[in-house]
Structure 1
């Protein structure tokens, strides 16, 4: 009788160790091991109290194994390829943009990916729902890429250019005004009239002279009410 108890106890300890090992290595293997424990409990020649103890211990093992099964993470699938969907990107200063990324295989774990910005004073990167969230701070350009330190996989590198679109538009407008101010405007004047015209056929002029408007004004000519 004592020998049976000892064997049963050793069997329980062995089963417990096998279950813990199986949870770590094979997440579903503890289920058949638990069934073996209950089958053994039915076959052993022992009194009801001993069988009851084995059942209680079995349920404890089951509960611990089940919790381990839930909370012990399985080996995650690591990315084999990471691709940023564009080669370069232009964005306005002090703005936020989302850039799509693709990870292969689709079920790969992306929680531990590193998002790298070459110059954090120009742009900073966050991650959200499989996208790169880029925030810009000042004009310039910075490369960005993604790495998985566990698998060693690195994405393609893209260049983000940050410009102050408002300042650029103002600069272009100023240049255009300066260009227009330097542009010579020509008008037409007749030998006998006192008006300058934008249309050389206005007022039935014959062989009008084409002159700079500034010169026409300086010599006393005034605009024609018909063509101006």
Structure 2
């Protein structure tokens, strides 16, 4: 699938047919759109710029959308302002990951429609984008957090089609996590902080994930239906 991605903004342009083919679940996507269009729950946005993800499956989709927004914004910045001494291979890796995250973000945005949380404003002031160690450490934190978030919230998804889509996306995120870990320490693509002694990826709850994600967001995200009030 060919996508036209602005290297500065990270915005992606693609035909609707290609978008649905990317998801590998055109019917499932239509189901998401159909349900969200008539869902009674609405995303809560207060004047202070805080978004609540909502409840039920819509809440979980918004939760994923929030994390994908954060990752897409981060990798867009990484590619636009590559760290000192970056190799062609590493720049290609970062560009590929950026493209994945942008498509994931746009997928959730299109599926959720009016039920989507607001576009979040990142806060990357503590990241030195000119420094490889700073960038890769942050990338690892984001990728590990994202995989743990998907794994920790999967059991909450009630609609089988949504679970299928989440499974396809988290498998890509896990590939990212393994790659970043290996760039930091060659040969350690499955370190102990990612996979437990049973060969299972570690997971985290919504209440554990959002406080960490919010440290990199000016727009804070809450999940009141899932016991996280910020």
Higher relative contact order (CA 8 A, sep 6+): 2
- Please state which band the TM-score falls in when normalised by the shorter chain: under 0.3
Higher helix proportion (structure 1 or 2): 2
Higher strand proportion (structure 1 or 2): 1
